[in-house]
Every structure is written in structure tokens, then in C-alpha cells.
């Protein structure tokens, strides 16, 4: 009971925070509906992330088709899943991993479109691990995402 009160008090205090402009900063959480918007502003870094991820998955010899979303062991073997290639590319481009970055979200949307909205617990992992998924399918969703991001950057 006391814990619930502390959480509520902390949430109310955080909700009252304002920026120097007098406005409350946007609060995006992992479950925020805004993260699932397909029209989020994209940057050249998003294009670079997608192009780097595609380069990391250049052929079958470097693709891990059994993703567990643990990327350290992928680095040791030199074989990366779609998720781990995107994670590595994000770190190489930005210096840090941003799980809900526009580039990564756009790949998730491309997966949804390619699988006609099939429900996945983790879109990147589960698409990578489908028995029917081929490296050409992985490359196709990366290409689709790249084209979409490039079109938004041009605007």
C-alpha cells in the first residue's frame, strides 16, 4: 500500500515538470501510441542505420536465423539476426542503442506489411525466426524501410 502511494506521488511530481519554455515535455514510453505512428520525422541517421544494418547482413554466412535478442553471443560468432544487426548499426551510427528509433520502427512496420499483420510477440525476432523467412525477406524489409525513411527525409 505504501509503495503505491510513493509511485503515485512520484508520477504526480514528474507530471508537473515543465521545460524552460514553460511547456511540459513530451512523455513517450515503450507503450506510447505515438511510437506506432508511421509518420514520425526521420533523419539521415535513420537512413544510415538502415543501410549499415543491410551491410551487416550481406549474405547467408553472417545471418543468424535463430534470434534470442541477446546480441553479445552474435558478436562472438559473427552471425547476426535482424534485431542484432539493427542494434549494432544503431550503436555504430549514434554511439548508443535506441530501441524505438524511427529506423527500427520502420523495419517493424515493414515486417507487419510483409506478413500481413501477423501477430508477433517481438516483430523483429519472430519475423527473423519464422521457418519461412529467408535472408532475401530480411533484405526486402530493410529495403522497404530504407525507401520509406529516405522519402520522409527528402520532405
pLDDT at residue 62 in the model? 97
Whether residue 82 is contained in a domain is answered as: yes
Whether residue 12 is contained in a domain is answered as: no
Distance (Å) of CA 35 to CA 28, 41, 99, 108: 8, 11, 11, 11
Whether residue 24 is contained in a domain is answered as: no
Q: What is the tally of structural domains in the chain?
A: 1
Whether residue 135 is contained in a domain is answered as: yes
pLDDT at residue 124 in the model? 96
With bands split at pLDDT 50, 70 and 90, how would you rate the model's confidence at 19? very low
Range of the structural domain that residue 51 is part of: 41-154
Q: What is the pLDDT of residues 94-149, one digit of tens each?
A: 999 998 899 999 999 999 999 997 999 999 999 999 999 999 999 999 999 999 99
Whether residue 78 is contained in a domain is answered as: yes
Cell numbers linked to 42: 526521420
Whether residue 116 is contained in a domain is answered as: yes
pLDDT at residue 136 in the model? 98
Judge whether residue 25 has pLDDT over 70.
no
- Helices 102-114, 135-154: crossing angle, 10 deg rounding: 130
pLDDT at residue 141 in the model? 98
Q: Which residue has the cell 515535455?
A: 25
Whether residue 1 is contained in a domain is answered as: no
Geometric angle at alpha carbon 63, from 53 and 51, rounded to 5°: 15
Whether residue 10 is contained in a domain is answered as: no
Q: What is the pLDDT of residues 30-84, one digit of tens each?
A: 455 666 677 888 999 999 999 999 999 999 999 999 999 999 988 889 999 999 9
Amino acid at each position: 500500500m505504501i509503495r503505491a502511494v510513493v509511485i503515485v506521488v512520484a508520477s504526480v511530481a514528474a507530471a508537473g515538470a515543465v521545460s524552460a519554455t514553460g511547456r511540459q515535455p513530451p512523455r513517450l514510453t515503450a507503450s506510447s501510441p505515438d511510437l506506432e505512428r508511421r509518420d514520425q520525422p526521420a533523419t539521415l541517421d535513420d537512413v544510415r542505420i538502415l543501410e549499415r544494418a543491410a551491410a551487416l547482413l550481406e549474405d547467408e554466412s553472417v545471418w543468424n536465423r535463430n534470434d534470442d535478442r541477446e546480441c553479445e553471443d552474435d558478436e562472438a560468432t559473427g552471425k547476426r539476426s535482424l534485431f542484432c544487426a539493427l542494434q549494432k548499426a544503431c550503436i555504430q551510427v549514434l554511439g548508443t542503442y535506441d530501441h524505438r528509433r524511427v529506423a527500427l520502427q520502420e523495419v517493424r512496420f515493414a515486417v507487419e506489411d510483409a506478413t500481413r499483420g501477423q501477430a508477433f510477440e517481438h516483430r523483429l525476432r519472430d519475423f527473423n525466426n519464422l521457418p519461412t523467412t529467408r535472408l532475401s525477406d530480411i533484405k526486402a524489409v530493410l529495403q522497404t524501410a530504407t525507401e520509406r525513411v529516405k522519402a520522409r527525409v527528402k520532405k
